[in-house]
Amino acid sequence: MPGRGSDFARRALLWGAVLLGGMSVAPASAQAPAGARACSGCHAPAAAAMPVPSLEGRPVESIVADMRAFRSGERPATVMDRIAKGFSDEETRAIAEWLAGKDHAAPQP
Amino acid sequence: MPSPNGSQGKIMPRLSRRNLLHGLAAGSAAAALGAPNVFGQAQPNLVIIGGGFAGASCARAIRHEDPAIRVTLVEPSVQYTACPFSNEVIAGLRDLTAQQFGYDGLRRAGIEVVHQAAAGVEPAARRVRLLDGTELTYDRLVVAPGVDLRFDAIPGYSETVVEAMPHAWKAGNQTLLLRRQLEAMDDGGVVVIASPANPFRCPPGPYERASLIAHYLKTRKPRSKLIILDAKDQFSKQRLFEAAWQELYPGLIEWVSLSFGGRVSEIEPTTKTLVTEFGRQKADVANVIPPQRAGAVAAVAGVADQTGWCPIDPVTFESRLQPGIHVIGDAAIGGAMPKSAFAANGQAKACAAALVSLLRGRPPAEPKLINTCYSLVAPDYGISIAGVYRPKDGLLAEVEGAGGTSPLDASTSVRAAEAAYADSWFRTITGEVFA
């Protein structure tokens, strides 16, 4: 079948590029700690300017401290007090670090 | 960030559906010819059936986590009509267009969207057959069909009855039909909502609907009455709803529980009469929310059990009945998580992470999931229920000490804040999934 071979070679090249590209992306995001992906259900990127504050660019220590204050009831909340009680300090820190790393990894415009 | 089109160009050089299918065929031909196995690992094929909050979220999350995975989303509708906030449409507080989303955002993210219905699934061959006869092969399949309404569940009820007595439990024309019926009803009319037994889509939904219809009646047709005939003795956020009804709509809403004869045992559509064990209730507007089961394709794929729902592994969302097929969203049953858009989105992201691990040969990590469901009792009065979930003993179990409902004694400013957060959540989640 004419053209089949070159088409096949092109496809192979493309897939090779994809394989390399995929390898550079997959491992970093695959390490998202338990629960980390849930945050974005309510917390939008900063650019969206929603009433629910964005977590983009938030220092790790500030997220950990806020979650601790939500958990103890020290900081009043509507729903975060109930959610924070489902996460330990260690889990919160891992999530905060992942969120922070995600921001740094995001390409700058 | 490279332009989405650019990255799509690398992976799938501007494939039309026909080309994609051709490409898939070429792929299997290559495998038969003994092409290096690495190709299969370089670009695994994931097919997702269902483009609602679960399926569309999963497609987006996969592409986000590993752009090298080829994702095909099978969804017959060219436009998605979201259920959350559709009760506001019924009450005349919102346009249906605010509920509607297209799939161009998914295409821009490199997802191949095929507007076809899935007609068959062959798990052994890892193949999905579409209604037009074309076939898609997959390495893993995600089934996210939402719910189907059980038209056979109540004597007298049927697919044609929904024109006279709308369910409005799948947003769209049914939502508008119920709204028009309320608008056409005379002041002093009786609205009846029939609410099903658990499990069903959106546990607080019937009561939010009752609240917002009551708001409409109070402001427009104050001599009217709303009756909820319930097949349950308890419902989600019950104390909050009942307290709010007493405060905002005194005497307007009557809730009839299962024990007091609330279960509808028969329907007489010509007279809009709902028959219960204890009596007959004639309605001017009747909103029958029937019992439900997983969307039909779940049975086609062999992932639904005798209950009509789909048991899953709580870590990977892989079906307990069919290896290689994962079920997320309303169709799945796997413990304590309610059937909500928030839960569907969260499950989709957790399932996507597990799928990437499985397709890349890594062990999937245990997820932790969150659910937050807001309900509006009035436009500026929101209440919520939240929960945190983790795999335990083969199910998704609630993390003890976390979650719960809004406080009963919250101030009006807290209720207003929760109404604003509800709106913010909807805009955020639909942005994440469809924009």
All residues of chain B having their beta carbon less than 8 Å from the beta carbon of residue A22 are 42, 66-69
Cα separation, B289 vs B237, whole angstroms = 18
The dihedral region occupied by A35, where left means phi > 0, alpha psi between -120 and 50, and beta the remainder, is left
Nearest to A78 among B345, B353, B406 (CB): B406
Output the CA–CA distances (angstroms, integers) from residue A81 to B237, B332, B384, B411, in the order listed: 17, 28, 12, 16
Report the distance separating Cα B349 and Cα B324, nearest Å.
17
Tell me, what's the pLDDT at B179? Answer: 98
- Rounded Cα distance between A70 and A64, Å, is 10
Residues of A in contact with B26 (CB under 8 A): 11
Q: Quick check: B337 and B389 in contact, CB under 8 A? A: yes
Structure confidence at residue A67 as a pLDDT band (50, 70, 90): very high
Identity of the residue in A26, A41, A52 whose CB atom sits nearest the CB atom of B342: A41
Return the SS3 of B60.
Answer: helix
pLDDT digits (tens, 9 = 90+) for A87-96: 999 999 999 9
ipTM: 0.86
Are A83 and B372 an interchain contact pair (Cβ–Cβ within 8 Å)? Answer: yes
Element (H, E) at B181: helix B173-184
Does B372 contact A26 at a Cβ distance shorter than 8 Å?
Answer: no
CB A35 within 8 A of CB A95: yes
Taken in order of first residue, the domains within chain B and their CATH numbers are: 4-148+293-363 (3.50.50.60)
pLDDT of residue A27: 42
Taking the Cβ of residue A5 and every Cβ of chain B, the question of whether any pair is shorter than 8 Å is answered with no
**Shortest Cα–Cα distance, B427 to chain A (Å):** 8
Give per-10-residue mean pLDDT for chain B (435 aa).
37 40 43 38 90 98 95 98 98 98 98 98 97 97 98 97 98 98 98 98 98 98 98 98 98 98 97 95 98 98 98 98 98 96 98 96 96 98 98 97 97 97 97 96
pLDDT for res A90: 96
Structure tokens at B199: 């499990």
Does residue A105 carry a pLDDT above 60?
no
Q: Do B368 and A38 touch (CB under 8 A)?
A: yes
Structure-model confidence comparison of residues A9 and B355, the more confident one: B355
Q: Do A21 and B64 touch (CB under 8 A)?
A: no
Q: What is the mean pLDDT of residues A79-94?
A: 97
CB contact under 8 A, A38 and B353: no
Q: Between chains, do B10 and A51 touch, taking CB under 8 Å as contact?
A: no
* Confidence (pLDDT) at A101: 86
What is the pLDDT, as a whole number, of residue B334?
Answer: 85
Burial class (CB in 10 A: 0-12, 13-18, 19+), B288: buried
User: Least CB-CB distance to A30: which of B353, B366, B414?
Assistant: B353
- Position B41 scores a pLDDT of 56
Q: What is the CATH number of domain A34-105?
A: 1.10.760.10
Q: String of b and e for A13-29 (b: at least 16 CB within 10 Å)?
A: ebbeebeebbeebbeeb
The string of pLDDT tens digits covering residues A18-66 is 343 333 333 444 469 999 999 999 999 998 999 999 999 999 999 999 9
Contacts (Cβ under 8 Å, ≥6 apart) of A47? none
Rounded to an integer, the average pLDDT of A57-84 is 96
Nearest-angstrom CA–CA distance, B26 and B309: 36
What is residue B40's predicted lDDT score, i.e. its pLDDT?
43
Query: Chain B: nearest CA to A94, how far in angstroms?
Result: 13
